[in-house]
Amino acid sequence: MSLRKVSAKTIICSTRLFSIRMTDIFNERAMQGLFTSMNQHVPTKRRSLEHLLNEQDPCYQGKDGSSYKLDPNELRLLASLLDIEDVPRLKVPLLIMTDTSYGDGYWKVIGKIEVKVISRLIGREPEKEDEMRIFYPCLKEVRDKLPTATNTVFSY
């Protein structure tokens, strides 16, 4: 693929012509920066529930380098909602992501075990086995019950 700059606003890529406004590029960079700063609390690595249940002071490290403590009572609640064989497979904290494909106020949980535990926690069947959409009231319920064992991840 070859790129050729025609003017400050137009680029030719092979046989296709793309018009790019500089404000779009700056807005994209601004949005990336905003979401990066909003997601600094997201863990660099998630560990298994089983491993965390055996730690005296369970915690994880965020992208910002800070250490975030996990409430052992929340970890025990998660374990109580799972089948015994799923406890070593669940990674904590659970990630709840914005879902922009359905409009404002929707969030989603991805992963079979993650969906299973959130479904049992809020008492609602998921749409799919490995993905569940939740609206804000359910997000609040999840975050009220598991404030340290869940993370919200922002995207656009």
List the helix and strand counts (H, then E) for the chain: 5, 11
Compute the average pLDDT of residues 128-134: 94
Pair (32, 76) in one structural domain: no
Pair (31, 51) in one structural domain: no
Compute the average pLDDT of residues 14-23: 46
Poorest-confidence range of 52-66, 71-85, 93-107, 138-152?
93-107
Query: Residue 41: what residue type?
Result: H
Q: Look at residue 32 and tell me whether its pLDDT is greater than 90.
A: no
Tokens representing 151 are: 């993370």
Residue 106 has a pLDDT of: 86
Residue 21 has a pLDDT of: 53
Pair (18, 82) in one structural domain: no
Q: How far apart are the first and last CA of the chain?
A: 28
* pLDDT grade for 63, boundaries at 50, 70 and 90: confident
Pair (32, 52) in one structural domain: no
* pLDDT grade for 109, boundaries at 50, 70 and 90: very high
Instruction: Domain of residue 33: give its range.
Output: 3-38
Contacts of 7 (CB under 8 A, 6+ apart): none
Pair (70, 19) in one structural domain: no
Q: How many domains does the chain have?
A: 2
Percentage, residues of the chain above pLDDT 70: 74
Helices (H), 3-152: 22-38, 49-53, 72-81, 112-122, 136-145
Pair (12, 31) in one structural domain: yes
Residue 8 has a pLDDT of: 43
Residue 4 has a pLDDT of: 41
Q: Look at residue 116 and tell me whether its pLDDT is greater than 50.
A: yes
Tell me how far apart the alpha carbons of residues 156 and 33 are, in angstroms, rounded to a whole number.
12
Most confident of 37-41, 62-66, 89-93: 89-93
Of 144 and 6, the structure prediction assigns the larger pLDDT to: 144
Residue 145's alpha-carbon distances to 45, 46, 69, 84, 134, in angstroms, are 22, 19, 15, 21, 15
Q: Look at residue 6 and tell me whether its pLDDT is greater than 50.
A: no
Pair (80, 121) in one structural domain: yes
Residue length, the chain?
A: 156
DSSP code, position 156: -
Pair (148, 73) in one structural domain: yes
Pair (59, 127) in one structural domain: yes
